[in-house]
A and B are shown apart, each in its own frame.
Chain A
Amino acid sequence: MDTITLAHGSGGRLSRELIEEIIYPIFNNNNGHELYDSALLPLKKGTIAMTTDSFVISPIFFPGGNIGKLAACGTINDLAAAGAIPKYMSVGLIIEEGFLIKDLQEILISLYETAVEADVYVVTGDTKIVERGSADRIYINTSGIGIVPEGASVSPKNINVDDLVIVNGTIGDHGMAILSCREGLSFGVNLKSDCTPLNGLVKELLDVGGISCMRDPTRGGLASILLELAHQSGTKMEICEKAIPLHPSVRAGCDMLGLDPLYLANEGKLAIIANPSKEEEIMRVLQSHPLGKNAQVIGRVASRDLKGTVLLETDLGVKRPLMLLEGEELPRIC
């Protein structure tokens, strides 16, 4: 059978075959953990971090990844940005009747390979099949558990005046790569989603020390995450427009569609707030790592401010406050 049918979700023979013949062989290889309805996880000392996220993206295949890779990266990066070492992950699948099994396999293999790359075990999961029209092909939920090593702390509470604001590379690549899949839009050169697990890079950064806080700027983009951090830490941040690294295709696409790259989604980026005394070492670690070679210091924490303000210094030297996005960003007509 080439496609998913409702019978695959019946709990009967086809359900069992789907799990045992399609899903299980993909996830059973990376861990030594059996896939049961509940996983029993041995945990070391430290604080446990737990996260969950659901992925309902369209298109499900895009330049640089697919929904499976995204589902793994999303959870791994949420854990990593909290200073945790990601360990275990669950995968919940909601699949529309008629979905191609070969597409499911490709998606799950991507998810599996990303988990392996991040040294994360997929230990439990769930599969539901819904009638055609009840879902948009496939939705994935992933939850993850990680361990925060004793003594490690990354939190908005740690953010201090004079801390640096750093990004590990060009922003908006994922959001624009998704848009570039649309018919009639072409940005020419090689624009791929930045979708990737960041836990390796985060570990190296935490080893250097001086990291006050980190966040992965996914939906809502860099602007939203900085506003959230400023609000949570009660500070005013100042960032500099010309310091923010942008892929030329993201710049061109934003110009064409009237979008602001500061609000485009990222899936392999970190906003890092760090003590200035560690600037040199942090930048050395970032720029010698493949996921941080375009890292830039883009600003600093300027003062205490209970309102939580982020000022953007434009190319013309004007400082204007960034605002939270009101509704979704809509591409313009011309």
Chain B
Amino acid sequence: MKLHNTERNYSEKLKDIETLARGLPAVSIMEICGTHTMAIGRSGLRRVLPDNIRLISGPGCPVCVTHDREIDNYLELAKDKRVIIATFGDLLRVPGSKGTLNAARSQGAGVVVVYSTLEALRLASNNPDHEVVFLGVGFETTAPTAALSIIQAKSQGLGNYSVYSMHKLVPPALEALLCDGSVKLDGFICPGHVSTIIGTSPYTFVAEQYKKPCVITGFEIHDILDGLYLLLLQMRQNKAKIDIQYIRGVKPDGNPIARKTMDTVFRTGDVLWRGFGVIPNSGLHIREEYRDYDASVKFGLAMDHHYINEKEAICSCGDILKGLKTPNECDLFKGLCTPLNPFGPCMVSTEGACAAYYRYEA
């Protein structure tokens, strides 16, 4: 059989990692981005790493950390006949306590999948008799485009457009994990896309205060291998700093224009994370001067920080998002909880740890 060959030499990179890992104690490395989790699962990387290197999936999937209360809020909103929900595809199958957006759509709710906030704005402009609400789920990567859409809506005088901001920030979650200390972590593979916006400085505390090495890494498997190499190198040299492997995408100071756009529209505040509870200053709320474009104000969407999440109490997503358990250690995994019948968002999101394990590692 003649097989196509590529010049990428993964085995050499793996050998380099083995060499560095030799002599190190058992180390646990967290990838805090769902895209990394999926890439690691798809390639089978966990199965070929040295025994003393353990990769743990962290809270890096924006859908997975979206709280049930937020999901229930937008599902309730979808019932309003005046409202068209504009959403990225990820959220369609995410279950709230009473169904999904997909189910709501099949029962007549106005739910449109968009691929950009530009599309959501156009939807508002083409449907002046409806209120278009864009579901702003995501980290620092997507928050700037949501912010920009609000600025554009205001400048165009579009009164029927608003954003339900469920945006969250990555560094406060890292801090929450490190403060918690319940899981032993020796280093971090930091997210490429988020870092494109925020650069390196928001991670400095991880290296300086907690002495944990960090490498901002791209999403192809050779990126992840190179990222691991750089991480192990820091460990071997007893260093803790913020390295950038993903130099083709990330500058040390990130993208100041995107950050400025984000800061213009949003302010930080305490928000609920699925699996974590309230993390201080980890959410993005729409500023007072843009309140006309804030769906939570426009439609009175409440967030109760004492909300009891019954489903979360049964499923292990909290422990999974914190790296305390792997998905296949959850009692519901592959039984009560499957991608077609997900118990929580981690099983349905295309970046979810449970979905990645179900598809690639179970």
Contacts and interface: CB of A to CB of B under 8 A. Distances in A.
A318 B137 contact: no
A334 B142 contact: yes
A316 interface: yes
Contacts of A329: 350
B203 interface: no
Contact of A332 (B5, B35, B48, B221): B35
Interface string B329-352: 000000000111000000001110
A259 to B, nearest CB: 8
A327 interface: yes
Interface in B108-146: 114-119, 122, 137-139, 141-142
B155 interface: no
| Pairs A-B, 10 closest by C-beta atoms | A184-B116, A318-B44, A330-B89, A326-B339, A334-B141, A332-B350, A182-B115, A243-B4, A258-B350, A243-B3
B43 A316 contact: yes
Nearest to B140: A334
A47 interface: no
B8 interface: yes
Contacts of A317: 10-11, 48
Contacts of A320: 44, 360-361
Contacts of A333: 62-63, 88, 90, 137-138, 141-142, 351
B1 A297 contact: yes
29 contacts: A164-B1, A179-B115, A182-B115, A182-B119, A183-B114, A183-B119, A240-B3, A242-B5, A296-B4, A297-B2, A298-B3, A300-B1, A314-B44, A315-B10, A315-B43, A316-B44, A318-B43, A318-B48, A327-B93, A327-B339, A330-B350, A331-B90, A331-B350, A332-B349, A333-B88, A333-B137, A333-B351, A334-B141, A334-B142
Interface residues of B, number: 52
Given A183-B119, A323-B359, 15 more contacts: A179-B115, A184-B119, A243-B4, A244-B4, A245-B4, A258-B351, A259-B350, A297-B1, A297-B2, A299-B1, A317-B48, A318-B44, A326-B338, A331-B350, A334-B193
A122 to B, nearest CB: 34
A242 B138 contact: no
Interface of B: 1-6, 8, 10-11, 14, 34-35, 38, 42-45, 47-48, 62-63, 88-90, 92-93, 114-119, 122, 137-139, 141-142, 193-194, 219-221, 338-340, 349-351, 359-361
A323 B47 CA distance: 18
Interface of A: 164, 179, 182-185, 240, 242-245, 255, 258-260, 276, 279, 283, 296-300, 314-320, 323, 326-327, 329-334
B42 A314 contact: yes
Nearest to A300: B1
A201 B347 CA distance: 42
A314 B43 contact: yes
A315 B221 contact: yes
A58 B193 CA distance: 30
Nearest to A180: B115
Contacts of A299: 1
B106 to A, nearest CB: 13
Contacts of B118: 183-184
Nearest to A242: B6
Interface-central residue, A179, A245, A255, A258, by most chain B CB under 10 Å: A258
A298 B340 CA distance: 30
Contacts of B38: 258
B62 A330 contact: no
Nearest to B341: A326
Nearest to B11: A317
A25 B359 CA distance: 51
Contacts of A185: 115-116
Given A183-B122, A316-B14, A333-B62, A297 B3 contact: yes
